[in-house]
Structure 1
Amino acid sequence: MNPGRRNRRARGDDPVSPAPPPHPTATATLSGAITQSMELDPDLTYHIQGTTIVEAGATLTIPAGTLLLGDVNFTGSALIVRQGGRLVARGTAQEPIVFTSSNPEGSRRRGDWGGLEVSFGNELNGLTLNGVGSGTQLDHIQSHHGSDDSFDYSSGWQGRGQFWAAQQDPHDADNGFEVDGNEENFDAEPFTDPDIYNVTLVGKEAGTGSAGESSRGIIFRRGTAGRVYNVVLLGFEKGFDVDQQETAARVQIRNSYVFGQEDGMFESDDGDESDAPIDEEALWNTDGWGNVASVDPLLVDPFNLRMPDFRPAAGSPLTDGYAEPPPGSDFFEAVDYIGAFAPGMPQWIEGWTTQDQG
C-alpha cells in the first residue's frame, strides 16, 4: 500500500528499492506505557517489545532515518497511540522512517509484528487509524506485506485522500478496498463519508495466483457513504461489490475503470450480503458517473512484484474522462489522469519504497 500526495517526483538510483542505509548497531527498547513526551535518536535501532502505548498527553517524535523493529520474541509487539496522544514522524526520501520485523532480512514474514496503531482484537492491517480527528495527516506512507485488506476504512471516517496505490500478493491478499459503515445499524450516524481521488488497485493477473486471494477490488457495505473518483481496478477475482440497499443509496464511484477480473467485473446476486441483492453493474453505469468497464487501462507493468510500473502506457485511455477536484481545494491536487500515477513522469514511489519479499 502506498498512499501519497503532492510530491510524486522523489527519485533514487533504484526506481523502487533504494539501498537502505546501514543500520545503527547501538539499540534501545520501547515498551509499556509512554506517559511523557520523548524524541527518539536516529543513531539507535529501537526494539518495540510487546504492546507499547503512547498515552494521552504524550508526544512521541521519531526523526528521519530512524529504524524501529517489532520484536518477534514478544507476543503482540505493536505501537499504539491513544486518543489524546500524538505521534510525529517525518521521514524523507533519503532518510525514511522504517518500522519492520526484528527477524533478519530474508526471514521476515507478514504478521511478524502488530503494526502501528493496531486496535485490540482487530486485524493486522499494518497501519490502523482509530479515533483520529482532523488534526491527523499522513503522506508518503508505505505498508508492505500486511495481513489483511489493502485499504480498510469504516466507523464514520470523513477524511480526504489522494494518490493511493496497492499491489497485492497474488497468493495471499484480501480486498483492495473494504469499506464499512456501522455493522450493527446501517443507518447509524455519523456515516463513513470520505472524498478520495486518484487510486490504483492491482490484484492478481487473470489465470495466476491462488484461488480465493485478491477477492475483490472494492467492496462497499453496511451503509457506508462517500465518493471515490479516478480509480483503476485491475485484476482481482471480482472487481466491484456493493452490499445492502442503504449502501447503494449513499456511495458513489466515478470516472473509474474496472478490467481484468478472474471471475467477473461485478459481484453476482448470490455473493451479495443483502436480503435484496444489488445490481452492481447498473450502479457502476449510473448516468453521469463516467465509469468504464471491459477496457484495458494499459498500465506499463502493474503485476511485476519486484519493479512494478503503474503509470499509464502510451495510448492509455486514462488521460481522458478524469474527474477534477473542487476548485480552490486546500488539499486536493488537480491532475489530468485517472489512477494514482501520471503518464510520462517518474512514479512518486521511486527512491523511498521497497518491494523486498522478506
Structure 2
Amino acid sequence: MSSLYKQVLCSALVGALAAGQAHAALTLSDAFDGGWADLSHPASARGWVFDVLTMPNGNKTLYLSGYLYDGEGNPIWVTASPLLGEFEFGASADLFMLEGGTFNGPGTETPVQSRFGSIEVEFASCTEGTVSVTPDAATGFAPMSWTINPLQNVVTAEVSGCAYKAEFTGCPAGTSAGTLPRSCVLTGAITRDITLTNNITWQLEGLVTVGGDNANSATVTIDPGTLITGSGDSADYLYVNPGSKVYANGTPYAPIVFTSPRDGHLGQTPAPGDWGGIVLSGNAPDNKCPAAPFDCRSEFNPDLRYGGDDANDSSGSLRYVQSRYAGFVFTEGREVNAFTFQAVGNGTVLDHLQSFRGKDDGFEWFGGTVNAKNLVSYEGGDDAFDWDEGWSGKVQFAYAKWAPESLALGNDNGFEASNQADNHDATPRSTPGWSNVTLIGNGSGGGNGLHLKEGTGGHLGNIVVSGFNKDGKACLLVDHAATGAIVGTALTLDHAWLDCSTNVADGSNGTAGRAQALFDGGDGNGSGNAQLDGFLPNAGSPLRNGGLVTDDAFFTPAPYIGAFRDSNDDWTAGWTHGIVR
C-alpha cells in the first residue's frame, strides 16, 4: 500500500459516517479488498479501491477511494468510509475530495479534505457491486453510477476466501419474502431435499421441521457463509427429525450463522432468547426410552419424539456453525438450547461450533453417542455444556467463558452433568469422554465449574477450571449418592487443574468426601494459579506440560491441560464471534 493511500485512508476517518442501508445475505470481509472497476469500459479507468476493516463486534468500516476526472481531464481523488453492520452489504456516506500530495508517488504533504457529495455502495456478490455518486451542486459534476467488478477473479481464486458467488434473484418456490432485504421465510415441514444458499437470508418462522419422525425423510444442505435468523416474534427453531439430516458445513472464513433478526444491523440490539435454536434428533440409544418404541420426548415440545437403538446413526454434520442469541422461553423451564442433540448417533459430525449469548445452555446432549471437537460456549445464560439421559460421546477441545456480572446475562455451571433425573442408575449410563477443556467463570457469579450429579459417569481429562468463585460454589462438585458411588470407576478425573476460591465441594445425599476422592484419585491433578492470559496459558503456566495423551484414536495427541497449548494456539480465531482476546 502506498504512503499516499495510507494517508487517504487515515484522512477519511475524520469524515462523517453514515449507517449501512441494507441487511442481507452477504457478509463483507477482507476478501472484498482491492481494486474494483467498470470492466465494461476498460479504457475509462472508472475504478475504486476498497479496504474492509472488521471490528471486534462484527461491524465493518469500508474504506474506499477512487479517481474522478474533471472537464479538463484532471484527476480528482475522492474517499469515503461508511460504517456497516456485520450483515449489511450496502451503505451510503459523505464523499470527500482530497487535494495535495501527488498521484505518482509518495505524498510529501498531508492531503486537504473537503466535501464532494455523497456515495452509495452496494455489493451483490463476490464479483459484482454498484457505486453511485451524487456530487454537490457546487462541484459542477453530474450524478454518476457504475456497475463494478473485482480486478482479480475471485470466483476461481481460492485465496480470495469469498463464499458469496451468486446474486439474489428472488425467493424459491415454497418460500415467501421475509422482513429483511434479500430474505426468504422457511416455515412448517421440509419434506424434500433442499439447499439453503448463501445469497439469501433465511428466516425461520415458528417450528421448522426437517422430515417427519423416521418418515418423509429429507436432507437440508446449507452453504458456507449462509445467514439464518428467526422471525423475531415467535418461537423460531430448526428441528431435524430422526431419519433426516442437515449438512451445515461452513468454513473458517465463511461460518454459517444462526442468529436474531436484529443481529448485525446498525441501530438494533439483539438479545438472548430472540429465537429458539438448533435441534438434532436421532435414533441412537437413550436411557429414558431404552427399548421399543423408544418414545423419548423433547422437554421443550412433547410432540417431538427421539430415541432408538442405532449407536451409529447419522443426523448429518455441523462444521463451523455459530448459534447466537438463542434460547427462546416457551414457559419456565422450557427453553431451547443454542445446540440440542437428542439421541444423536456417532455417525454425525460436530466440529467447530460456537454458542454466543444464548439464554439457556450452550450445548446439551440428551442421550446418544455423538462426538464433537472444537466447541465454544461464550457468555451464555445457563450451563455451558449439559448432558443427561445416558450420553456416551466424546469431546476434545472445548472452551467456555462467562460474561461479567455487570452485563446481567445470567450464568450457571461449566458442566452440568447428569445420568437421569428420575433414575440415577439408569442404563446405559452417561459416560462421555472429555479432553482438553478450558472453563473460565466470571469470578463472582454463576454456578460450579464441574457439577457432576444424578449418577453421571464420565472420563474427564486435561481440564482447567478457573474463576468459579461465588460463595457456596466450587470448581468441582459431586452431587447425589449414585454419583459418589462410581467415583474411581465409571467416573474419573485426571490431569485436571482447579483454580477457584473453593476447589472441591460435596453435594447432597451421601456424597461427603467424594469430590475430594475424585480429585485425589486421578493422576496429574493439581490446583493453584493457572497463569492464564485471558484464556491462553502464559509462558510459565503449569498447564502447558501437564497433560496426558490417550490411546483413543478419536483424540488428537494434545499433552497439555486445557483447550489451548500456549499463547499461539488460539483455534477460536477467525470463525467465532465476539470473543475478547
TM-score (norm 1): 0.84
C-alpha deviation, 1:356, in angstroms: 7.2
C-alpha deviation, 1:344, in angstroms: 3.8
* Structure 1 counterpart of 2:554, from 319, 331, 346: 331
CA distance in 1, matches of 2:503, 2:210: 43
CA distance in 1, matches of 2:250, 2:415: 26
Give 2:455's aligned residue.
Answer: 223
Query: Which ranges of structure 1 fall in alignment gaps of 5 or more residues?
Result: 1-12, 302-309
**Aligned pairs, how many?**
322
| Residue identity in the other structure for 2:538 | A
* Structure 2 counterpart of 1:90, from 231, 245, 249: 249
Tell me: CA distance 1:287–1:29, structure 2 relative to 1, closer, same or farther (3 Å). Answer: same
Instruction: Name the SS of the counterpart of 1:199 in structure 2.
Output: strand
Q: Deviations over 1:181-225 (max 9, x none)?
A: 0111111101111111100001112xx4xxxx4211111111111
C-alpha contact 2:504 2:516 (8 A) present in aligned 1? no
CA distance in 2, matches of 1:143, 1:288: 31
C-alpha contact 1:16 1:352 (8 A) present in aligned 2? no
Give 1:80's aligned residue.
Answer: 239
User: Structure 2 matches for 1:133-152, cutoff 5 A?
Assistant: 133-147=345-359, 148-152=382-386
CA distance in 2, matches of 1:191, 1:14: 46
C-alpha deviation, 1:146, in angstroms: 1.3
User: Structure 2 matches for 1:1-358, cutoff 5 A?
Assistant: 20=86, 22=88, 25-55=181-211, 56=214, 57-74=217-234, 76-105=235-264, 106-117=268-279, 119-121=298-300, 122-147=334-359, 148-171=382-405, 172-205=410-443, 208=444, 213-236=445-468, 237=470, 238-248=474-484, 249=486, 250-261=490-501, 264-267=502-505, 269=506, 272=507, 274-293=508-527, 295-301=528-534, 310-326=535-551, 329-355=552-578
| Residue identity in the other structure for 2:542 | P
Greater shift after overlay, 159-168 or 275-284? Answer: 275-284
C-alpha contact 2:193 2:219 (8 A) present in aligned 1? yes
Instruction: Name the SS of the counterpart of 2:389 in structure 1.
Output: coil
C-alpha contact 1:320 1:337 (8 A) present in aligned 2? yes
CA distance in 2, matches of 1:127, 1:89: 13
4+ runs deviating over 3 angstroms = 13-25
Instruction: Name the SS of the counterpart of 1:224 in structure 2.
Output: coil
Tell me: CA distance 1:16–1:179, structure 2 relative to 1, closer, same or farther (3 Å). Answer: farther
C-alpha deviation, 1:120, in angstroms: 4.6
Q: Percentage identity across aligned positions?
A: 34
| Residue identity in the other structure for 2:276 | G
The higher relative CO (CA closer than 8 Å, separation ≥ 6) is in 1
C-alpha deviation, 1:347, in angstroms: 0.3
Instruction: Name the SS of the counterpart of 2:185 in structure 1.
Output: strand
| Residue identity in the other structure for 2:549 | E
Q: Deviations over 1:128-170 (max 9, x none)?
A: 1011011111111000001221101111111111000000123
Tell me: CA distance 1:167–1:219, structure 2 relative to 1, closer, same or farther (3 Å). Answer: same
Q: Deviations over 1:86-123 (max 9, x none)?
A: 11100011111000001244511111111101845243
C-alpha deviation, 1:30, in angstroms: 1.1
Q: Which has the larger radius of gyration?
A: 2
C-alpha deviation, 1:334, in angstroms: 0.5
Q: Which has the higher strand share?
A: 2
Q: Deviations over 1:228-269 (max 9, x none)?
A: 1011101113211111232121311110011133xx2222x5
Tell me: CA distance 1:247–1:161, structure 2 relative to 1, closer, same or farther (3 Å). Answer: same
| Residue identity in the other structure for 2:220 | L
Instruction: Name the SS of the counterpart of 1:282 in structure 2.
Output: helix
CA distance in 1, matches of 2:461, 2:54: 31
C-alpha deviation, 1:319, in angstroms: 1.9
| Residue identity in the other structure for 1:265 | N
Greater shift after overlay, 112-121 or 225-234? Answer: 112-121
| Residue identity in the other structure for 2:400 | A
Instruction: Name the SS of the counterpart of 2:439 in structure 1.
Output: strand
Give 2:318's aligned residue.
Answer: none
Tell me: CA distance 1:104–1:352, structure 2 relative to 1, closer, same or farther (3 Å). Answer: closer
Give 2:164's aligned residue.
Answer: none
Tell me: CA distance 1:15–1:201, structure 2 relative to 1, closer, same or farther (3 Å). Answer: farther
C-alpha deviation, 1:62, in angstroms: 0.6
C-alpha deviation, 1:22, in angstroms: 4.3
CA distance in 1, matches of 2:512, 2:231: 45
C-alpha contact 2:438 2:563 (8 A) present in aligned 1? yes
C-alpha contact 1:16 1:350 (8 A) present in aligned 2? no
Tell me: CA distance 1:288–1:40, structure 2 relative to 1, closer, same or farther (3 Å). Answer: closer
CA distance in 2, matches of 1:37, 1:296: 52
Tell me: CA distance 1:21–1:331, structure 2 relative to 1, closer, same or farther (3 Å). Answer: farther
Instruction: Name the SS of the counterpart of 1:256 in structure 2.
Output: strand
Instruction: Name the SS of the counterpart of 1:188 in structure 2.
Output: coil
C-alpha contact 1:170 1:214 (8 A) present in aligned 2? no
Instruction: Name the SS of the counterpart of 1:285 in structure 2.
Output: helix
C-alpha contact 1:65 1:97 (8 A) present in aligned 2? yes
C-alpha contact 2:186 2:208 (8 A) present in aligned 1? yes
Query: Which ranges of structure 2 fall in alignment gaps of 5 or more residues?
Result: 1-52, 61-85, 90-167, 169-180, 281-297, 301-333, 360-381
C-alpha contact 1:125 1:149 (8 A) present in aligned 2? no
CA distance in 2, matches of 1:162, 1:356: 20
Instruction: Name the SS of the counterpart of 2:482 in structure 1.
Output: helix
Instruction: Name the SS of the counterpart of 1:30 in structure 2.
Output: strand
